[in-house]
Structure 1
Amino acid sequence: MSTTASGPARRTTAELEALPLAPPAATGLSEVVRRRYLLSMLVRNTIKSRYQGTVLGWVWSYLQPAIRFCMFYFLFQVMIGRGAGMENFAIHLFSGMVIVHFFTETFNGGTQSLVQNRSLITKLPVPREMFPVARMLVAAWHTVPMLVILVVPCVWLGWRPDPVGMAAALLGFTLTAALGLALGLLFSVGNVFMRDIGKVAQTLTQFVTFSVPMMYPYTLVYERFGEPIASWYLLNPMAEAVLLIQRGFWTGTTSDPDATAAVHLPDHLFTRGLVMTAIAFVLLVVSQRIFARLEARVPERL
């Protein structure tokens, strides 16, 4: 059956699920880009389903992070005085939350993407990598409101975008996207064969919140455990991503950004970020190849 590019894009998920079984399609991330009209359809349907039946709809994507920011500000900075001696600790905390949210949504969503779309996988001749990629794009869409909520108080506190800071933030998001998608691909196909993999992914993402300098500064790790442990700590790519986005936003809200970066950020931040991003892309290639080797058995296991 031949269709135009506009045809499938207008179909609903229910209509696609009703189609007859389809033969396997070409695979690979490049094929996902070529079928971007179907990819955009999956992203739109996933976003719509999240807010289906709500009165405020997409407004919740802004309201929830705004409430979360206010709660963390009141709890950590007003109530218990966390971050004493650090300027604008709430910005330090929330900037880390933005990147951690993007990673956990990409990783967990990608892990569940094949199981949750089992009916589409057996009916549509599409590259199955499309489903983890779609979940990464959905995670990115939900991260944008959090960025808006982050930027507003930053500007109010005197932050202005600078080229180095924006490069740091972009590098942090690139590292997170590549790592999250690589793990999403790997765990999604593993979750088809063993559903415990999904629980493993959820458990791993719980550790991310406490293994990055978000609720505490990096200097605390260095002061408490010394240089050897701090060096091992920095091998965590998500810790690196959080430090990069803090360089992009939080340091610019302090009275002396250069001094803040010198005290609270480790040396060679960009060098490590570039190395870890390159490793994340290598992991993405390896994960895609493993995915391609196993995906032929996915329909029968679903």
Structure 2
Amino acid sequence: MTEPAEQQGSTGSTVVRRSTPEELEALPLVAPSSAGLREVVRRRYLLRMLVRNTIQSRYQGTVLGWVWSYIQPAIRFCLFYFLFQVMIGRGGDEMENFAVHLFSGMVIVHFFTETFNGGTQSLIQNRSLITKLPVPREMFPVSRMLVAAWHTVPMLLILVFVCVLLGWRPDLVGLAAAILGVLLTALLGLSLGLVFSVANVFMRDFGKVAQTLTQFVTFSVPMMYPFTMVQDRFGEPIASYYLFNPMAEAVLLIQRGFWTGTTTDPSATEAVHLPDHLFTRGLIMTGIAMVCVVLAQRLFARLESRVPERL
């Protein structure tokens, strides 16, 4: 489409003509908005619109719509319950309610992988908006984190429902641990999403790298196996290094909030199956994750001016 341009006629009247394609190509791209995450918060109405459109596009053409967000995780929980507790026999006296142990970890892992992978692809998938609108480009990875959170809420509600059926006894420390685990996951996923989103514009291999890394996350956290197995198989020194993984810490935090409260003796379960200083270590890692978000945003701001031309 050509833009109209004004030109002064010989009689003093204004003549409107159409710009040529060559003139349009010579125009500069939209100037980037580099105000960072604060500008994203200031333009939250645009953020809400972007999140809503992303969610609607995922369920476009379906009859049940957002109900699938509840059906799929519910079926997944039933499958894992049948496989691990009925078929394999996990969840006895030594590992009570193992299906809850597994599913609570799955909630956090799903939130992280959706945030990380979605954030990595966010700039490329919104190239038409980036090259035309002067919006803060950090908005796209942030919107993917919020979309991931929206899809994680049904899994969390199903987890709470199952825990209540099993006699869940929540406590303030456990709820604070679960909230801390979710916050740690959000900050970590957002920082990686910011870095990988802009890196993926310059080299598309980073999208494949992100997918590969998220595959390792599933097996590098105490979800399908208890943390005590790491201690028993590899000893205390290796187990201490294992806890440097922030996603393992996030999974243990949410298990402290939900799984331990469904067991017969929550205090004994925590003492046996969870490491010491869990909450303190979670606070430290959350602080580090906040610093990572700041550093990731600065790197993003340095490179974003070259994003439109690479897209």
Structure 2 length-normalised TM: 0.90
User: Distance between the aligned counterparts of 1:24 and 1:205, measured in 2?
Assistant: 30
1:200-237 CA distances to partner (integer Å, 9 max, x unpaired)? 00000000000000000000000110001000100000
- 2:266 is equivalent to residue 257 of structure 1: yes
- 2:55 is equivalent to residue 55 of structure 1: no
User: Distance between the aligned counterparts of 2:133 and 2:169, measured in 1?
Assistant: 47
- 2:98 is equivalent to residue 89 of structure 1: yes
Counterpart AA for 2:196: F
User: Distance between the aligned counterparts of 2:32 and 2:287, measured in 1?
Assistant: 31
The structure whose residues are more often helix, as a share, is 1
Counterpart AA for 1:192: V
Counterpart AA for 2:305: A
Q: Which residue of 2 aligns with 1:175?
A: 184
CA contact (8 A) 2:32 2:304 kept: no
Counterpart AA for 1:33: V
User: Distance between the aligned counterparts of 1:198 and 1:24, measured in 2?
Assistant: 23
> What RMSD over aligned residues (CA atoms) do the two structures have, in Å?
1.1
Quick check: 24-33 or 185-194, which moved more?
24-33
User: Distance between the aligned counterparts of 1:91 and 1:46, measured in 2?
Assistant: 30
- The alpha carbon displacement at 1:83 in A equals 4.4
User: How many correspondences in the alignment?
Assistant: 283
Q: Which residue of 2 aligns with 1:9?
A: none
CA contact (8 A) 2:109 2:217 kept: yes
Q: Runs of 4+ in structure 1 displaced over 6 angstroms?
A: none
User: Distance between the aligned counterparts of 2:62 and 2:89, measured in 1?
Assistant: 36
1:96-154 CA distances to partner (integer Å, 9 max, x unpaired)? 00000000000000000000000000111100000000000000000000001101110
CA contact (8 A) 1:32 1:129 kept: yes
Q: Which residue of 2 aligns with 1:147?
A: 156
1:145-181 CA distances to partner (integer Å, 9 max, x unpaired)? 0001101110011113211011000000010000000
- The alpha carbon displacement at 1:21 in A equals 6.1
Bigger-Rg structure (1/2) = 2
Q: Secondary structure of the residue that 1:123 maps to in structure 2?
A: coil
Counterpart AA for 2:186: A
Q: Which residue of 1 aligns with 2:42?
A: 34
The one of 125, 142, 145 equivalent to 1:133 is 142
Quick check: 167-176 or 79-88, which moved more?
79-88
CA contact (8 A) 2:195 2:296 kept: yes
Q: Which runs of 5+ in 1 are unaligned?
A: 1-19
Q: Which runs of 5+ in 2 are unaligned?
A: 1-27
Aligned ranges for residues 111-122 of structure 1 at < 5 Å? 111-122=120-131
User: Distance between the aligned counterparts of 1:294 and 1:288, measured in 2?
Assistant: 10
CA contact (8 A) 2:120 2:197 kept: yes
